[in-house]
Amino acid sequence: ANGHPWTRVRFPQPALDLVWHRDDSLKAEWFFLNTLAGGVRIPFALQGMERLFDDTWQ
């Protein structure tokens, strides 16, 4: 429609694009992640990241 021949789109490297709280959730000790193949459940450990989840980090 724009006068240019059709070309195949190429993506040189796989990319990841997540939308906060749409593609993921964190409950208790589990991180849930939506993927193209369906949801996956991943064990989550807070060790080393406590300061990010204590409601004082900005």
Query: How many angstroms separate the CA atoms of 30 and 20, rounded?
Result: 16
For residue 44, the enclosing domain spans 24-52
Average pLDDT over every residue of 37-57: 85
pLDDT in tens, 19-33: 777 778 888 788 888
Task: Give the pLDDT of residue 40.
Answer: 92
Q: Is the pTM of this model over 0.85?
A: no
The number of distinct structural domains making up the chain is 1
Q: Is the pLDDT of residue 1 over 70?
A: no
Tell me, yes or no, whether 29 lies in a domain. Answer: yes
In a domain, 41, yes or no: yes
Cβ within 8 Å of residue 41, ≥6 positions away = 30, 31, 32
Quick check: is 34 in a domain? yes
